[in-house]
Amino acid sequence: MIKRILLLACIAPTFLFAQTSDSAFIKMISDNIMVSRASYNNLHTLTKNIGGRLAGSPQMVMAENWGYKALQDAGADKVTLQECMVPHWVRGGKDKASVTYKTAAGKTETMQLNVLALGNSDGSGPKGVKAPLMRVANFDELEKRKDEVKGKIVFYNVPFEETFIQTFQAYGKNVIYRGIGASRAAKYGAVAVLVRSMTHAMDNNPHTGAMRYLDSIPHIPAAAVGLRDVEKLDTLFDNNVALTAQLFTYGKMLPDTIGHNVIGELKGTEFPDEIITVGGHLDSWDVAEGAHDDGAGVVQTIEVLRAFKALGFQPKHTIRFVLFANEENATNGGKKYAAEAKAKNEKHIFALESDAGGFTPRGFGFEVKPETWQKLESWKKLFSPYGGDTFTPGGDGADIGYLKEAFGTPMAGLEPDTQRYFDVHHAVTDVFEAVSIRELKLGAVNMAALLYLVDKYGL
Amino acid sequence: MIKRILLLACIAPTFLFAQTSDSAFIKMISDNIMVSRASYNNLHTLTKNIGGRLAGSPQMVMAENWGYKALQDAGADKVTLQECMVPHWVRGGKDKASVTYKTAAGKTETMQLNVLALGNSDGSGPKGVKAPLMRVANFDELEKRKDEVKGKIVFYNVPFEETFIQTFQAYGKNVIYRGIGASRAAKYGAVAVLVRSMTHAMDNNPHTGAMRYLDSIPHIPAAAVGLRDVEKLDTLFDNNVALTAQLFTYGKMLPDTIGHNVIGELKGTEFPDEIITVGGHLDSWDVAEGAHDDGAGVVQTIEVLRAFKALGFQPKHTIRFVLFANEENATNGGKKYAAEAKAKNEKHIFALESDAGGFTPRGFGFEVKPETWQKLESWKKLFSPYGGDTFTPGGDGADIGYLKEAFGTPMAGLEPDTQRYFDVHHAVTDVFEAVSIRELKLGAVNMAALLYLVDKYGL
């Protein structure tokens, strides 16, 4: 208490006035967003009428058309489609897997596994692949046992670290097994890989996501397994039961195709050539509705625009509201956006991304110069009423990160609470019903507040 | 940044050491709780095997027996059942309601309404009650139009205030219509009331909850209506359509019966006669599984005990882990606990309650002396890694509040994020699946940390 009073006493009257008026404006933003049904309706349409929308899919074309209209309806001065080439991976069929083993009584048992081929992977085709299943706890074990790998299906069973409070830490540590596990095993002659799903969830839904083949190593099939099935496999392995696995996947990488970033713009009144970017990605994995990943970011981006227009807010700088084309399996939308900005010699002063789910906001991660932190600290109390006042270093997003590379643009990422994200991430459970609309809206409130402050005071 | 460094420079080395060791112990608590499946299993049993458990119900007896065993299993030095009289309200049947009206074309239409009788209310019985429906926006309108009320069913349509960021504010403002709306209308001759459900939810589930009849006013039936049906009713009222409503409820208040607080104890090593209480309430509404309200608080209470024992932590003061008998419709468990403490002249130095859902923790509300805040401020950074570092004034709980009345005991309430609470509160949607077990566990981590600090340093 004492500290608070001292702090207050140090503040000059002008500053107090500015803060009051900022907090009043942010309250107006909040009131407008919290009572509006626009974000509910937008997310419902995107998830339920369009659904899963991987780059290159017909649903993604529908999503672009919807996004164009939604940005217009929200009041953009203009909306443009920015063409970019995107990968065109198709799942190609219903992924299936099973393991066969002999019981102690000598009976042959077959257990079906709930699997999803990893994105970008080549399928086994209708003949499938059948081989002994070999479990490894990590790459170290793979290396130690590399002589056993030839002709096997390798099963990477690397549990999420439950003790990490921020779940992105667990994901960050483990995602390499999804990313390059196939090539690491294929190098020693594995014929396929199964990967424990990247999740904390207590259900059996497999979680897909991007993988990539490393050069000159054979492309083998790769699929994620649901956690309940992983537990069953573990029990068998722990009892030294020999398992033969069979895997059917049909994934295929077709030639690159055309996608679009969908860009709405509010023209700046004083510095129209200085650009602030805010965005999320429009694409999602095919099997999910992409409600949290990243329907939330898309809808929040549109919601910020809608609220600004509804309140008659005219930014000093041009604000671009960008629905990126292709975060999930190549980030080609983000690359294109930055490349074109660079080619046109644009001036990008700030970028903000929302791609961590529509959960209750806790704050922002910032990628800024050290001297900027003092300013950020002074803004914190403006965010406290809306829950977004935890500011942490490090905050480039997958799509806006290319702007930092191109220009060194200061940037931020909305950081919602992370506990539930990997329950649904890239799984069939990432649906509209998994989103609390109030939590989603609160994220938009905090984003709008940050954009308002950066536009007014710079960063 | 600069501020942080200055702060650090002011701290004496001893203090630094103490803080380090505290943070290390709290990390051990967190690691233990985050990897344990105990809370998942406990909540699953309580919600799925026992389910809705209103005071006086057979399920509540099952819940007491389960809680007794669970506290034993978690390692309590002793577990006791503290008898108390509790109200015994029964729903008595399937609540039903409908409205009938004439269309513009002169056709008679009937619309079913999704309703739940309010807890403690007297039913209409099988004959039901049928009368013209009168909508009021609030008590002011009721008073202005009191001459119209006689013989009518009054429909209180008071929406939750969406602009309040903390949803308990909206609940606090509106819950009086559920609480005494029936008596206020009956005073002017109403024959029943329908109350808009106390929720933000976009679904049609009615939300029950306690009501009470004011003395000497006739006891009329009272039920909550789901929000989608409220919207339909609004459309009809807005078009000046005359509505006749029919309501069937069967609620009955039977004579008080015996219930129990279930109390586990860890004996204090230095001050065994100084008591710290932590608890949640075991009872829930009949129609819900009571997962968030208050299965979460119950399971967290048990989890704190389990983790303390697992880590070999021996508190200096006696800690009582209390599963209260009857929060929902009389708080007789809390009253009994405080009354017996008073009768025995016990010394209660702190109490903590968790009864705001198993959502991601944001902090605590504290009911403490002004001079205590300096100590609390110094503890905040210990909670930051676990999300519970927002400390706000005001934090007595419904059950522990009686200790404050009796002894002036300092107290706190766990404050989880509030956005989703009233989506499920007192409705059929308050189920196991609506709880994120990681969020629930994080609440327990923060509770354990606070109890550890209060035991060590006092408050």
- Return the domain boundaries, chain B: 24-87+255-457, 96-252
Q: Kindly identify which residue of chain A lies nearest to residue B383, measuring between CA atoms.
A: A165
Q: Exposed, middle or buried: residue B394 (CB in 10 Å: 0-12, 13-18, 19+)?
A: exposed
Whether residue A374 and residue B2 make contact (CB cut-off 8 A), yes or no, is: yes
Record the tokens describing residue A144, joined without a space: 């130690």
H-helix segments, B257-366? 296-310, 332-343
Q: Kindly identify which residue of chain A lies nearest to residue B440, measuring between CA atoms.
A: A419
Closest Cα in chain A, distance from residue B103 (Å) = 29
| Phi and psi angles of residue B446, each rounded to the nearest 5 degrees, phi first | -65, -40
Signed CA dihedral, A129, A130, A131, A132: sign only = positive
pTM: 0.94
Q: Which run of H or E residues covers position B317?
A: strand B317-324
Q: Give the tens place of pLDDT for each residue, B152-166.
A: 999 999 999 999 999
Whether residue A202 and residue B167 make contact (CB cut-off 8 A), yes or no, is: no
Whether residue A165 and residue B420 make contact (CB cut-off 8 A), yes or no, is: no
pLDDT band at A7 (very low <50, low <70, confident <90, very high): very low
Whether residue A202 and residue B437 make contact (CB cut-off 8 A), yes or no, is: yes
Predicted pLDDT of residue B13: 39
Task: Tell me which residue of A204, A208, A200, A229 sits closest to A427, measured CA to CA.
Answer: A208
pLDDT band at A20 (very low <50, low <70, confident <90, very high): low
Whether residue B442 and residue A436 make contact (CB cut-off 8 A), yes or no, is: no
pLDDT band at B19 (very low <50, low <70, confident <90, very high): low
Q: What is the mean pLDDT of residues B430-442?
A: 98
Give the integer Cα–Cα distance in Å for A437 and A443. Answer: 10
If phi over 0 gives left and psi between -120 and 50 gives alpha, with beta otherwise, what is residue B331?
left
Q: Give the tens place of pLDDT for each residue, A257-316.
A: 999 999 999 999 999 999 999 999 999 999 999 999 999 999 999 999 999 999 999 999
SS3 A447: helix
Which positions in chain B touch A163 (Cβ < 8 Å)?
A: 30-31, 34-35
Q: What is the mean pLDDT of residues A183-187?
A: 98
N-to-C CA span, chain B: 30
Which positions in chain B touch A3 (Cβ < 8 Å)?
A: 377
Predicted pLDDT of residue A18: 54
Task: Tell me which residue of A113, A8, A61, A116 sits closest to A283, measured CA to CA.
Answer: A61
Q: What one-character-per-residue DSSP string does A45-102 give? A: IIIIII----TTSHHHHHHHHHHHHHHHHHT-SEEEEEEEEEEEEE--S--EEEEEEE
DSSP 8-state code for residue A386: G
Give the integer Cα–Cα distance in Å for B153 and B190. Answer: 6
Give the integer Cα–Cα distance in Å for B359 and B422. Answer: 12
Signed CA dihedral, B306, B309, B310, B311: sign only = positive
Strand partners, B81: B262
pLDDT band at A19 (very low <50, low <70, confident <90, very high): low
Closest Cα in chain B, distance from residue A243 (Å) = 28
SS3 B125: coil
Predicted pLDDT of residue A198: 98
pLDDT over 70, % of chain A: 96
Q: Give the tens place of pLDDT for each residue, B63-91.
A: 999 999 999 999 999 999 999 999 999 99
Single-letter amino acid, residue A4? R
- Beta-carbon contacts of A159 under 8 Å, excluding residues fewer than 6 positions away, are A196
CB A134 within 8 A of CB A153: yes
Give the integer Cα–Cα distance in Å for B177 and B138. Answer: 8
Q: Exposed, middle or buried: residue B26 (CB in 10 Å: 0-12, 13-18, 19+)?
A: buried
Which positions in chain A touch B370 (Cβ < 8 Å)?
A: 1
| Phi and psi angles of residue A91, each rounded to the nearest 5 degrees, phi first | -70, -40
Give yes or no for residue B14 having a pLDDT over 70.
no
Catalytic status, residue B265: no
- Number of other CB atoms surrounding residue B133 within 10 Å: 23
Record the tokens describing residue A28, joined without a space: 């107006």
Residue B165 has its nearest CB partner, among A362, A377, A385, at A385
Record the tokens describing residue A206, joined without a space: 């497999």
Predicted pLDDT of residue B215: 86
Closest Cα in chain A, distance from residue B34 (Å) = 6
| Phi and psi angles of residue B310, each rounded to the nearest 5 degrees, phi first | -60, -30
Give the integer Cα–Cα distance in Å for B389 and B361. Answer: 9
CB A290 within 8 A of CB A52: yes
A37, A41, A44, A48: CA torsion to nearest 10 = 160
SS3 A230: helix
Strand partners, A134: A154
Q: Kindly identify which residue of chain B lies nearest to residue A435, measuring between CA atoms.
A: B420
Q: Angle, nearest 10°, between helix axes B296-310 and B58-74?
A: 20
pLDDT band at B395 (very low <50, low <70, confident <90, very high): confident
Provide the CATH topology of domain A24-87+256-457: Aminopeptidase (3.40.630)
Which positions in chain A touch B423 (Cβ < 8 Å)?
A: 436
Catalytic residue (one of B327, B328, B353, B415): B327
Give the integer Cα–Cα distance in Å for B295 and B359. Answer: 12
How many residues would you count in chain B?
459
Record the tokens describing residue A157, joined without a space: 């069973």
Closest Cα in chain A, distance from residue B29 (Å) = 10
Residue A417 has its nearest CB partner, among B31, B167, B360, at B360
SS3 B279: strand
SS3 B453: helix
Give the integer Cα–Cα distance in Å for A71 and A76. Answer: 6
Give the integer Cα–Cα distance in Å for B229 and B287. Answer: 19
| Phi and psi angles of residue B269, each rounded to the nearest 5 degrees, phi first | -80, -35
Chain B residues touching chain A at CB-CB below 8 Å? 1-3, 30-31, 34-35, 40, 162-163, 165, 167, 200, 202, 360, 362, 370, 373-374, 377, 385-387, 417, 419-420, 423, 436-439, 442
SS3 B258: strand
Record the tokens describing residue A143, joined without a space: 């290396």
Record the tokens describing residue B406, joined without a space: 């009796």
Residue A2 has its nearest CB partner, among B30, B374, B420, at B374
Q: What is the mean pLDDT of residues A139-146?
A: 98
Whether residue A165 and residue B31 make contact (CB cut-off 8 A), yes or no, is: no
pLDDT over 90, % of chain A: 94
Which positions in chain A touch B362 (Cβ < 8 Å)?
A: 387
Catalytic residues of A, by residue number, are 327
H-helix segments, B36-131? 38-44, 58-74
Record the tokens describing residue B288, joined without a space: 């819900």
Signed CA dihedral, B18, B19, B20, B26: sign only = positive
Beta strands in A206-332 (DSSP E): 222-225, 244-248, 252-266, 271-281, 317-324
Q: Kindly identify which residue of chain A lies nearest to residue B420, measuring between CA atoms.
A: A436
Q: Kindly identify which residue of chain A lies nearest to residue B32, measuring between CA atoms.
A: A163
If phi over 0 gives left and psi between -120 and 50 gives alpha, with beta otherwise, what is residue A16?
alpha
Single-letter amino acid, residue A192? A
Residue A373 has its nearest CB partner, among B1, B200, B438, at B1
Predicted pLDDT of residue B8: 37
Record the tokens describing residue B149, joined without a space: 């009320």
Predicted pLDDT of residue B372: 96
Predicted pLDDT of residue A395: 81
Which positions in chain A touch B356 (Cβ < 8 Å)?
A: none
Q: What is the mean pLDDT of residues A210-223?
A: 96
* A–B interface: beta-carbon pairs under 8 A: 72
CATH homologous superfamily of B24-87+255-457 equals Zn peptidases (3.40.630.10)
Give yes or no for residue A164 having a pLDDT over 50.
yes
Strand partners, B79: B264
- Number of other CB atoms surrounding residue A24 within 10 Å: 9
DSSP3 helix / strand / coil % (chain B, rounded to 5): 40, 25, 35
- CATH of B96-252, picked from 3.50.30.30, 1.25.40.10, 3.40.50.740, 3.40.50.300, is 3.50.30.30
Provide the ipTM: 0.94
pLDDT band at B202 (very low <50, low <70, confident <90, very high): confident
Q: What is the mean pLDDT of residues B348-377?
A: 97
- Return the residue matching tokens 């009872």: B283
Q: Give the tens place of pLDDT for each residue, B49-69.
A: 999 999 999 999 999 999 999
Give the integer Cα–Cα distance in Å for B133 and B151. Answer: 10
SS3 B86: strand
pLDDT over 90, % of chain B: 94
Which positions in chain A touch B360 (Cβ < 8 Å)?
A: 360, 417, 419
CB A316 within 8 A of CB A276: no
- Number of other CB atoms surrounding residue B263 within 10 Å: 22
Residue B31 has its nearest CB partner, among A31, A163, A442, at A163
Q: Kindly identify which residue of chain A lies nearest to residue B161, measuring between CA atoms.
A: A35
Give the integer Cα–Cα distance in Å for A87 and A40. Answer: 30
Record the tokens describing residue A191, joined without a space: 């014929």
Give yes or no for residue B222 having a pLDDT over 50.
yes
Mean pLDDT of chain A, nearest integer: 95
Sheet architecture: strand order including A244-248: A108-113, A96-102, A244-248, A129-136, A153-156, A192-196, A222-225, A115-117
Predicted pLDDT of residue A215: 86
pLDDT over 70, % of chain B: 96
H-helix segments, A11-54? 13-35, 38-44
What class has domain A96-250?
alpha beta
